[in-house]
Chains A and B, each alone.
Chain A
């Protein structure tokens, strides 16, 4: 049973397209996150949701919009994709700060 699953694992798309990445956790955690890992492997938080409420919204373009239909799901929708959006996107979940569990990542390539 995968604890944090995100789909798809790979996404190749053209500039200007709109795409979504889905994430689901079965750990019963109360907080979910999206992280971006750039080409230099640096990991930076983008968003976090606690019980469906947005609590962290770092400086990301408003083309990125998270959606949390319930506390087990957090999806990331990206409009008008740009070359610079190419990266690995990780979903994660936690219960307080005790343990953060990550999904396997989605490698997004914009061509």
Chain B
């Protein structure tokens, strides 16, 4: 079974600084997707960024970028120029065969 591990239960960052959230996963598949979801206190699950495993180029979405290391099975999220609105729980997730498996989440606090 696929597993997703987020080793940082909590992180904090100063406003305007950069923070990196870690994620590792375990799979024997070669074709899959990786995601980062944000869950603010409103509890809505918001897709932040998506990476297709067959693409070597790291995905970017404005201030959000990933470092995808397929051989190491690592998928970290970098948030640049952190804003107060980035404060939320962040979940790393693995998707394959129509099943999405989540990590345990990282609670990000942004300090003014």
Task: Enumerate chain A interface residues (CB-CB to B < 8 A).
Answer: 31, 33, 40-45, 48, 50, 55-56, 88, 90, 92, 94, 96-102, 104-105, 107
Contacts and interface: CB of A to CB of B under 8 A. Distances in A.
B50 A102 contact: no
A71 to B, nearest CB: 13
Interface in B1-48: 32-33, 35, 37, 39, 42-45, 47
16 contacts: A41-B39, A41-B105, A43-B102, A44-B102, A88-B43, A90-B45, A92-B45, A94-B100, A97-B97, A97-B100, A98-B50, A99-B47, A99-B50, A102-B37, A104-B43, A105-B44
B98 A48 contact: yes
Main secondary structure, interface of B, reads: strand
B33 A97 contact: yes
A102 B45 contact: yes
Interface in B40-65: 42-45, 47, 50
Contacts of B43: 88, 104-105, 107
A41 B89 contact: yes
B36 to A, nearest CB: 12
Given A42-B104, A45-B100, A102-B45, 18 more contacts: A31-B98, A33-B100, A41-B89, A43-B102, A44-B102, A56-B98, A90-B45, A94-B100, A96-B98, A97-B33, A97-B98, A99-B47, A100-B47, A100-B100, A101-B47, A102-B37, A105-B43, A107-B43
A104 to B, nearest CB: 5
